[in-house]
Structure 1
């Protein structure tokens, strides 16, 4: 699949809009994944959810595509600690091996998402 194609960009946008919307529907659950060193976990979840929705929508317009792409890449980088926190919590409670494996796999997948956003937003071209 051409990651810069319109269908790819629409799929990526939909993933971000749905994912961002889930931050509002499951804010309390998501807030538990915010590392304890960060203040205001629920606010951070809502802000990141809004950023995902806006970034996803921004990918759909040629006028906003580049700034949306930059914002989404920065967001993916900034939420990395929450994904690590989820893994640490899963290990601490003895979650299933399958769940822990999925959480481990999520880390490199996040890097692939950054590449997908880069290409879909046509950054560097």
Structure 2
């Protein structure tokens, strides 16, 4: 019985993440189409040009310290968890490390940890 409830909760979280992901993908696709139209370029040419100018390997970005989290859907997951936790009245938060200290955020997702949303875990507990 408990396993079924846990499985159902996990499935609900995955569904929410998929919904947020789909919305984000649609929004990005619309923006790309609009940008291509503004430049009067065929969509395939615009995408090809963008890929050449903006491509960087994620491994290289992580090695250079420019990107710690390589999960491209992390923001969608954050808001899916936030919504789920709110509905179920669960205390939660995303935890990251910075300079050997742990920080937690459960308000608004930001990649930059110098934001007021990221609070030192030791200050809260």
* TM-score (structure 1 length as normaliser): 0.27
Report the structure number with the largest CA radius of gyration.
2
The structure whose RCO (Cα within 8 Å, separation 6+) is larger is 1
Q: Which structure dedicates a bigger proportion of its chain to strand? A: 2
* TM-score (structure 2 length as normaliser): 0.27
